[in-house]
A and B are shown apart, each in its own frame.
Chain A
Amino acid sequence: MPRYGMVIDLDRCTGCQACAVACKVENNVPFSSPELALEGRTIAWMQVLPFYEGEFPEARTRFMPALCNHCEIPPCVTICPTSATYLSEETGIVAQIYPRCIGCRYCAVACPYTVKFFNWFKPKWPEPMVAGLNPDVSVRPKSVIEKCTFCSHRVVKARERADGEKRKLKDGDYQTACQEVCPAKAITFGDLDDPESRVAALSKSPRAFRFGEDLGTEPKVYYLREGEWDVERER
């Protein structure tokens, strides 16, 4: 059984936000506004977060694309009273059944990475955009939780195509939207259990680390540390 995971190379990431935009379009995520952002009610399955380091002359910003880590031991799944959020045995993806969620927001509280989002209102799009919504992804009603699904609607399509061509699913058949658009090729996605896959190789890199590893959640999103070859003091 595949176990899908992602590797994000922070050395390559330029903080251009293409992944964040692609994710919104692909997954019918409603728009935000400055007011909503101030209230802390933006929905963004993929976010490029800035980390600031140092004081003025030496200051620098690092970027880190943050999304659901699709934990192997996901606390959000353990506590959901209706099993509306569950760990898929087939793909290792942590998915969400919207019609079953009762909107208790317990999972959002229990996720150590705060990457679950709540629909505080009914989502709205400008009129011309409604026709452009992705038909493969359901539009969520108000008052349910949502989060990154690793574009799991795409795995269905990839599987169908592979079946049609009478072959097995191979590395690169199933890609996420953020991976596709990343101009710096910082995002790699694939089956962590497939020894041939690029993602499995990268995840074993000495630069690889996972976010909040001490929490015991076993995330399936790996980050590759930035190369520190240009540290002024060490030159």
Chain B
Amino acid sequence: MSNANDERFNADWFANVLRRDTRLLVAAVPLVILVLSAGFVYWRQFTTGMGVTGLNRPSYWGLYIVNCVFFVGVSAGGILIASLVHALGVKQFRSVARIAELMAISCVVMAVTSLFVNLCWPQRMHFILLYANVSSPILWDMLNVSLYFFISLAYGYFGTRSDLVRLMSIKPRHAWLFRLMALGYTDVSPKALKRDDIILRVMAVAGLLAAVGMHSVTAWILGLTKARPGWFSAIMAPLFIVSAAVSGLALLIVSVVLIRRYLRVRIKDEVIRRLAQILTFLVLALGYFLFAEMLTVFYGKEPAVLEVFETMMHGRYAVFFWGHLLLGLIFPLLLFGVVLAGIPRRWVIIGGLTLLPIVAGIAFVFGLAMPFAKVVGDALPGWVGYAAVWIVGLALLQACANERLGEDTRLGIAAGLVVLGIFAERWNIVLPSLMGHSALPLPGVSYAPSGLELLLVAGIYAMGALVFIVAVYLLPLVESEEDEPPPPVPDRSGIEGPRWTTIEDIKPPRWPEIKPRWTEIKGP
């Protein structure tokens, strides 16, 4: 099955470049509108004051910071995967390396924007350097994030430029565009390629270091703040790194599955499966870290920290905690188990139903309260609630694990849930410490993002998506492979729907034959 599947995804290397694809256009229009309205909201926030958000005392930070932390993580995770290919030479993932780089770049753009909108005085930004305070984690973060941004751009540039040069001769009408993007570089002799490889390797290592550094520093913004129980902990930075790897890899799987579906780029089923296997282990590691943290908290019974965890697990945003635990950790793990280890669905349901009385029994014996009593009311005893959650979970698992969905879709669903779970985890890290504990008896004010704040954040997402779409339009998404035979003439008959092709597009790619001539092409 997997081979048949691989053959469906055989678009030639450069097929997506400059193709007038109505789907991309249709997707881009609402995104542009969102970005524009977010710009308006930012102007509003800038002129009226931060009061337009839902922030307050003591929740001085909110959704913007959660977003920033989340995207810094995804970005770092993306670079991690890309550097596996270029620094460690894991050839297998070569076909997803460029997508990972693109994801890293668009996510770091989103992260920086989120941080930027959280500050109120853009015209005073240079004060951070002018009156630098070396002990401030925000200074470290700013330096590290900018460094990382430039490294990832350079990394992307060196990784793409040989393909850009190839594109110059494949699409001569737009050669100027690719020459511009390649910054005038035209050399694709074997020697140059070899040199590029070495540069890439160095860049990959640098990018990896910068990514780890950036994410640790972001963690330390929170983790070094002694005033906030729940943040002030040595596990912060390591926990952030694992979460980063998990969210980056998971979002990469989702993007790869989607891109492959819609653009038919050449990515093998095997690659997706491998990525999902790694993700499974990382999710387990994340679970271990969280367990270690929770154990320390509940064993130590430090009152302030307990208060924070109480807020997290039973407070207004308890849904985020339980959602992360059940849907972002346990459920995807089971789904990965079913899909990757091939456990038959029948067994899952039999096992699940056998365990049902035990789950309900435990809830009954310990007299657990109704889960989500605020939503469903507490008329029924708690064990009924737990049994219901269990059954719904089983049914969901059955539905998501259905073989007819195809392996990649099922893995994509699991990875998507992991991404959402990590977002909830970031929320759980940032907000309960602010809302849940105060040394002073302040009136319990909780935080909810305001409509404008949500719109601004949606605009930031849209901006990231637009960066991605532009990249899909301009760049080959998969690194073309040197040593393989030239790709076969794509078989157009099996592709349904209208296709917008140009004359050049239909020509089979001829680059291997004309390669020697390239070094002579100078000027238009």
**Which interface class (under 10, 10 to 19, 20 to 34, 35 or more) fits B?**
35 or more
Given contacts A79-B136, A81-B138, A114-B439, is CB(A100)–CB(B49) below 8 Å?
no
Q: Is A82 an interface residue (CB 8 A)?
A: yes
Tell me whether A102 and B127 are in contact (CB under 8 A).
Answer: yes
Tell me whether A215 and B227 are in contact (CB under 8 A).
Answer: yes
B446: nearest chain-A partner, CB-CB: A40
Tell me whether B440 and A79 are in contact (CB under 8 A).
Answer: no
Stretch at the interface among A119-127, A130-138, A150-158, A161-169: A119-127
Residues of A within 8 A of B57 (CB): 40-42, 108, 114, 117-118
Q: Is A112 an interface residue (CB 8 A)?
A: yes
Interface of A, helix, strand, loop or mixed by DSSP: loop
Residues of A within 8 A of B439 (CB): 112-114, 211-212
**Which interface class (under 10, 10 to 19, 20 to 34, 35 or more) fits A?**
35 or more
Residues of A within 8 A of B347 (CB): none
Q: Is B443 an interface residue (CB 8 A)?
A: yes
B-facing mask of A19-45, CB < 8 A → 1, else 0?
A: 000000000000000000111111000
Q: Is B260 an interface residue (CB 8 A)?
A: no
Partner among A41, A102, A106 whose Cβ is within 8 Å of the Cβ of B51: A41
- Closest chain A CB from B293 CB (angstroms): 20
Most chain A CB atoms below 10 A, which of B138, B434, B443:
B138
Question: Considering the chains assembled together, what is the distance between the CA atoms of A41 and B447 in angstroms?
Answer: 12
Question: Considering the chains assembled together, what is the distance between the CA atoms of A114 and B442 in angstroms?
Answer: 9
Tell me whether B440 and A109 are in contact (CB under 8 A).
Answer: no
Q: Is B33 an interface residue (CB 8 A)?
A: no
Given contacts A117-B57, A118-B57, is CB(A103)–CB(B119) below 8 Å?
yes
Residues of B within 8 A of A121 (CB): 48-49, 51
A-facing mask of B131-150, CB < 8 A → 1, else 0?
A: 11101111100100000000
Q: Is B366 an interface residue (CB 8 A)?
A: no
Tell me whether A110 and B142 are in contact (CB under 8 A).
Answer: no
Residues of A within 8 A of B138 (CB): 79, 81, 104, 106
Q: Is B118 an interface residue (CB 8 A)?
A: yes
Question: Considering the chains assembled together, what is the distance between the CA atoms of A51 and B440 in angstroms?
Answer: 9
Tell me whether B440 and A49 are in contact (CB under 8 A).
Answer: yes
Most chain B CB atoms below 10 A, which of A50, A51, A100, A118:
A118
Kindly list the 8 A-B residue pairs having the minimum CB-CB distance in the complex, ordered from nearest: A103-B120, A40-B445, A40-B56, A143-B120, A120-B51, A112-B227, A81-B138, A142-B49
Binding site for B on A (CB under 8 A): 37-42, 49-51, 66, 75, 78-84, 100-106, 108-115, 117-122, 142-144, 211-212, 215-216
11 CB contacts below 8 A, A to B, read A39-B445, A49-B442, A51-B441, A66-B440, A84-B127, A104-B138, A109-B228, A112-B227, A113-B439, A113-B440, A143-B50
